[in-house]
Amino acid sequence: MDMMAMVFIGVAGLSWFLTYALCKIAVRYQWYDKDSHGIKEKGLQVPALGGMALFVSFWLGVWVLFPQMIWQGNLLSVLLASAVIVITGIIDDFVELTPIKKTLGILVAANIVYFMGQITFSTKLLPNLPTQWFELLTYVATISWIYAVTNAVNLLDGLDGLAGSVSLTSLITLVLINYYFSQSIRLTNFVMLILLTAAIIGFLPHNWYPAKIYLGDTGALFIGFMYATLTVSGLKNATFFSLLVPVVLYAVPIFDTVYAMCRRVLSGQSPTQGDREHLHHRLLRFGLPEKQVVWVMVGVTILFSALAVLSHLYPELRRELILTIISLVLGMILGMKLLARLNNK
């Protein structure tokens, strides 16, 4: 068994053990999920802070494989930024930060990655744009992407195993696409995607319905932040199409977040106001059991993932596949409206 396989198994095993230990510790000290917005379906006392197991197991795996590089350059910037994210999540799990304070934590972490990690995009993407404007656009796009995805996974974490399962599906697909087709991703980023996958695999047995522990803001923010950061780093030779792939793979949480924000704004509500109108809530009210709702949303993620893989296998069909993806998104919009009408009858 080679080193990478051993570390993968070790990270998954450590994540499982640490999550188990956290369950026991959290129950003893009553570190339960507060659900202050009332967005969870059941009123059980379930420990939060599951993300701490993900953070520790993931970074121990990175340290084993890159004992010198972890304290330098890009890896150090991601380590420090993810620590900021986890600290933000822990504080929010205990005392509930306001949306502005939570946003500030995410933005601080995103800026650490951008400036310390030296994120660059190929100028071939917009060759006629002046350098200073291209750099400004790169900065805005990077910070916006990290913030949006980090927030999207946090909002998706409303059912047992949902955020972890959707993220695991997207990560596995992303690893396969990068292994067989990518020519631009850094080796360290590729390995970190694999280790993040391993950490989630170890955590999920404790998080599936009925959950013994939740990700909490700690875990949801960490997964979203790592996905966003690892997909935006090392894109010096990236094309417009390669930039779209992570968006397609995370279409479910991104769509759910954008739809929720637009709906709240159009209704005169704050876009950060928590409610029970996300896709999984509407599917629950429609009558689907919690497990089936999770599988439906994982199934939709698998469908988007399959289209992303096909776009690499058959590049001559990318236009048709993109139109198919757009049609699916439009279908999800119609589905949300239909569910709203049926649930109101």
Q: What angle do CA 200, 214, 66 make, to 5 degrees?
A: 30
Considering the chain, what is the average pLDDT of its residues?
A: 89
Q: Is there a contact between 74 and 239 (Cβ–Cβ < 8 Å)?
A: no
| Helix, coil or strand: residue 1 | coil
| Helix, coil or strand: residue 129 | coil
71-102 confidence digits (pLDDT tens): 988 899 999 999 999 999 999 988 888 889 99
Crossing angle for the helix pair 162-180 and 216-232, to the nearest 10 degrees: 20
229-266 confidence digits (pLDDT tens): 999 876 555 667 777 899 999 999 999 999 999 988 88
Cα–Cα distance for residue pair 102/301, rounded to 1 Å: 27
| Helix, coil or strand: residue 121 | strand
**pLDDT tier for residue 340 given thresholds of 50, 70 and 90:** confident
Cα–Cα distance for residue pair 173/305, rounded to 1 Å: 6
177-193 confidence digits (pLDDT tens): 999 987 667 789 899 99
39 has pLDDT over 60:
no
Q: What is the maximum span of the chain, computed from C-alpha positions, in angstroms?
A: 61
The CA-atom distances, in angstroms, between 23 and each of 48, 95, 189 are 8, 19, 30
pLDDT for res 239: 67
